[in-house]
Amino acid sequence: MHESCGIFGIYDPHEDVARLTFFALFALQHRGQESSGIATTDGDSIWVHAGMGLVSHVFDEASLSRLTGNIAIGHNRYSTMGSSRPANTQPILVEGAPGKIAVAHNGNIINAEVLRQELTEKRCRFSTTADSEVIAYLLTASPGRTWEERISHAMHRLQGAYSLVILTHDSLIGVRDPLGVRPLCLGRLDSGGWVLASESCALDHIGARFVREVAPGEIVTIDSSGSTSFQAVEPERNALCVFEYIYFARPDSTIGGRPLYWAREAMGRGLAQEYPVGADVVIGVPDSATVAAISYARESGTPFTEGLLKNRYVGRTFIEPDQRIRELGVAIKFNPLREILEGKRVVVVDDSIVRGTTTPRIIALLRKAGAKEVHMRVCAPPICYPCFFGVDMATRWELLAARKSVPEIQEFIGADSLGYLSLEGLIQAVGLPEGSLCLACLTGDYPIPVQLEMDKLALEALPPEEGLGS
């Protein structure tokens, strides 16, 4: 499963806002490794620097020094609408009748194609194939005297998931969709400045203190007069993505008032209670399953050990591997410790099984290292339905659990036993009411109607005369 995006915003006349945004994006790098970007303003001009690759690849001292001003927004991308290419990097800068704005977006707009065709008829000239540009142009084309009024109007047109940070010439604005699918929080710096971030861990890294989470349907505006907010859309229900707890967010973040570390501990504990097995050691697939594996070991009384080591410097690369490297597959990312595993009965805890491409390779690696038995335990229940709210997961026919039963999956991955945490166990571990979570990928119950054949590259299929400008 691929990550959703990470967004950040800061308003502070007393700080180097571009540099603080750079370090905040470092803390949010786990949410997207395809591209990174920062936009700043000094009240007159807006500057944007963005590129393909990790934060450390895109920025240096020279590029940061050109990003001057007192307001900044930043973005780490993993593509969920539109392909991975330089034109689709964010923040996205657009100009309309009210002026220029820069927008960074985490989520997915399921009616983006319809909105883009409508905006094209209004002479908006698109230069990307991302739904984020549709949002930006919709904001500039919406009626209203203020940005808050325009955003409020646009929110009644947008369908799907969107946490946004928006930069105008004199303000920073944070927006969260009425379902609250993707997280967004507000923080304060000692200097008096304000920040917005996808996760609270980004606040910790720059010395900001957590104030609160932005509510679903809320608009938060930060300018020279301070921070103001209002409820633009009253939510009919909440639908926070449950995979923020299972996989996406860092364990040192707090979302929905629940520390991620506690939730993942509870997942491991629940797995040990639901699927006990005689074993010699428990290992986790690093890094997202480590907390749950430690908790499984503690609950089961089986020793925890590091049986798989992760190459922490393996990021996404744009260099195609040759055939020999391709055949090694997951071995480049993980290396088993034969000295620990040989002759042992091993419990392996992982966060999820999606397509079923990685798990069989991991189990094969463990057996090659001498593991006598391999018992797979998974924090997420079987994933049977695709996500259309900001996660590039898979089409339904690609999802392993949509095509195979649990016994068939066990045979396919080559495990001696397989246990998925139950849906009830997961909800209990997260510690939030079932009705406040989006569980669509597990249950098929989407918070709003979707087309199951939706394609992340749908906007790329439009011919130039329907909106792709130069």
Q: pLDDT by residue for the chain (470 residues), tens digit each? A: 555 799 999 999 999 999 999 999 999 999 998 999 999 999 999 999 999 999 999 999 999 999 999 999 999 987 654 445 688 999 999 999 999 999 999 999 999 999 999 999 999 999 998 999 999 999 999 999 999 999 999 999 999 999 999 999 999 999 999 999 999 999 999 999 999 999 999 999 999 999 999 999 999 999 999 999 999 999 989 999 999 999 999 999 999 999 999 999 999 999 999 999 999 999 999 988 999 999 999 999 999 999 999 876 655 444 455 655 555 666 678 899 999 999 999 999 999 999 998 999 999 999 999 999 999 999 999 999 998 887 766 688 899 999 999 999 999 999 999 999 999 999 999 999 999 999 999 999 999 988 655 454 456 555 444 433 32
Domain 6-239+458-466, architecture per CATH: 4-Layer Sandwich (3.60)
This prediction's pTM: 0.90
CA distances from 222 to 195, 202, 273, 288 (A): 9, 18, 47, 34
What's the angle, vertex CA 197, arms to CA 81 and CA 41, rounded to 5? 85
Radius of gyration of the chain (CA): 22
pLDDT for position 87:
86
CB within 8 Å of 329: residues ≥ 6 apart? 361
Angle between helices 423-430 and 260-274 (to 10 degrees): 150
CATH 3.60.15.10 is the classification of domain 254-437:
no
CA distances from 380 to 220, 278, 407, 409, 454 (A): 33, 22, 16, 14, 24
Active site residue 5: yes
Task: Tell me the β-bridge partners of 36.
Answer: 51, 76
pLDDT for position 426:
98
Cα torsion for 67, 138, 255, 294, to the nearest 10°? Answer: -80
Closest CA to 442 of 426, 419, 418: 426
Q: CB of 201 within 8 A of CB of 195? A: no
Please indicate whether the domains covering 6-239+458-466 and 254-437 agree at the CATH topology level. Answer: no
pLDDT for position 389:
87
Task: Select which of 5, 201, 241, 441 is catalytic.
Answer: 5
Q: Is the peptide bond before 287 cis (omega within 30 degrees of 0)?
A: yes
Amino acid at 325: I
Residue 245, helix vs strand vs coil: helix
Domain ranges of the chain: 6-239+458-466, 254-437
Q: What kind and span of H or E run contains 161?
A: strand 160-167
pLDDT for position 100:
97
384: left (phi over 0), alpha (psi -120 to 50) or beta: alpha
Distance CA 142, CA 149 (A): 8
Distance CA 163, CA 103 (A): 10
Average pLDDT, the chain: 91
Q: How many CB atoms lie within 10 A of CB 117?
A: 13
Structure letter (DSSP) for residue 15: S
pLDDT for position 420:
98
Q: CB of 448 within 8 A of CB of 159? A: yes
pLDDT for position 102:
98
Look up residue 131 and give its two tokens: 């739904």
